[in-house]
Structure 1
Amino acid sequence: MTGFRLNLSPLKEPLGFVKLVEWLTAIFAFGSCGGFTAKNVVSILCGDGRNQTLDVNYRYPFRLSQVPLMEGNATICNRSVSATHLMGDSSSAAEFFVGVAVFCFLYSMAALLLYLGYMHVYKNSDFGPILDFVITAAAVFLWLVCSSAWAKGLQNVKDATDTDGIGATVALCKASNITCEVTEFANLRTLNMSVVFGYLNMFVWAGNAWFVYKETRWHSQKMSSQPAPGGRQQLPAAI
């Protein structure tokens, strides 16, 4: 029979338990990156001793080139400034990272449903375990690529929003008698944790690949072809 049969015993085995861990770590990965918002405060010290501030608000997916620093026709330090935006765009790396995390979250949830309700079908099928192994192995590669890309993208965000990045972007800050400095930095701890969770997911999925591989016929054929320890191969009878 191929109907649904609820069985929680797979959660007590590595195959099901690690899949549950994958589901949780994927939530932490996209949750710590996808909903992020931040604000830096830039202080501009004019040559006459006055101090003005700018608020730099940015958020996921970090299209920094669309984040305004100064509105057009504004006057700062008695100088007219043109519209200025941050430099850089880390949206592709951020969206790739979140997309992989969401895919792995959904796949882990579907796999858990399969393990808990249709394990009798899963174990009696060649296609199911092989497909599970191929997707799991692909997820390991995707986590490696997207985590590395997002780590580089996050560093670009940090560089663009620090004092040097703002100073290089705003033409006013290059004047000899004007000093620009980021005096309040946003807390980027959750973004740093998202990178950590990305690499953690890679290791968790890599470990799970072994347990999924053991369910495939490739592993069973390999084990059946190996002679038992201490056993002797049967020699053909003499003619």
Structure 2
Amino acid sequence: MIASAKRKVLDGLNRRYIYGRVPLLHTIIFLIEMAVATRIAAKFNTYYAEKPVLTTMVTNAVLGGVADTVAQLITAVKARSQQRGSEGGDDFISIEIHDLDKEKPPVVGEVGPVRTPLPPFDFERLTRFMAYGFFMAPVQFQWFGFLSRAFPLTKANPTAPAFKRVAFDQFIFAPFGLACFFSFMTIAEGGGKRALTQKFRDVYMPTLKANFVLWPAVQILNFRVVPIQFQIPFVSSIGIAWTAYLSLTNSSEES
């Protein structure tokens, strides 16, 4: 009876979303993450005043999850676009609907011609990104605090200390942060010394160069204008696109 009810729900979803072009599961997860992020943003000052480090950790984790979900969504849309081009099919979401119903395989012709399985949502990968954001936040918190103490902004000359912060951040913390990222992801994926060496050889330097293109301008604005309690969330928010890029880079190397 439960299986029958489940099947009816899935059939209803199939009929409703069969012509969709965006993967349903990815979209649902993205909306949930954005709802959580909005809730945190609304109460951020209160949470930060009580528990600044923990608030930063949770915020980083949620925004890291958003970024990876965006990256997985991009991958899924690209895969579906390629499949439509090769097969002429129009339905996208039906694949994930059937992924949810593992007990019964799809009937031929029920949801349209699908020959190549599309990439399912990778919850383990999402967990890795959220965990990295969570555990990296205390390091960022201490680093930003050090920069604010070492190079205080003064009314007379706020620009020079801001540039010094950016220089220290980009030439010291950025290489360290990327090394931590690729090391954490590789180990969390079960890779050993060989996988870690290969990842550093293939993607570390190109990613670091891309970092130098984007982040100096962002950090000048961050250190010059944004209050210190918002600096890490600001970086994480702007970094959604950057983290999505890292996710795509890391996953492409993994595959």
Comparing both structures, which one devotes a greater share of its residues to helix?
2
TM-score, normalized by length of structure 1? 0.30
TM-score, normalized by length of structure 2? 0.28
Comparing both structures, which one devotes a greater share of its residues to strand?
1
